[in-house]
Amino acid sequence: KLRRNMLDIIQRNRELEAKEKFSEEINYLHRRVMALLQIVSEKMEENASLRHIVMSQYYALFRVANLEEEVKQLEKLTWYRDEAEAERKHLMDALAKMKKERDYLEDLVTVNEGENNRLALMLNETREELAQLKARRWWHIFSDLFRSIGRLATPA
């Protein structure tokens, strides 16, 4: 009986020691599990953040095609604007040439009007002279001839 009691005491001591040992190990494992759960939680937050970034990048990349199309349209508009500007310059040059030609024609018209006035006066004088010549009689020719000879013969 004593032996059995002794064995029971030894058995209890071993169980208590084992219980203490396993209790410490369980506490250590518990702390380790808590740390791992915290790390897992952090990793999940990082994954969620990365998912958000990936989705943002996906939508941004999805929009790149639309933005490229807009850039092409803007380049076309720029090309149209450049073409319109070149055409405007061409038209302005043509307008400047037309203004020079108009000024030249105005000067030419002014000169022609002056020449027409001079010629009109000459025509009127010639008509008056012709009318005078038609009004003369045949003998006036001889008297005019003698008068002009007289003027030539007379030294001034």
pLDDT tens per residue across span 79-120: 788 888 899 999 999 999 999 999 999 999 999 999 999 999
| Cα dihedral across residues 139, 141, 144, 145: positive or negative | negative
Angle at alpha carbon of residue 17, lines to 12 and 21, rounded to 5°: 145
Question: In the prediction, which pLDDT does 153 show?
Answer: 67
Q: Give the C-alpha separation, 92 to 80, whole Å.
A: 18
pLDDT bin (cut points 50, 70, 90) of residue 22 is: confident
Q: What element of type H or E holds 94?
A: helix 2-135
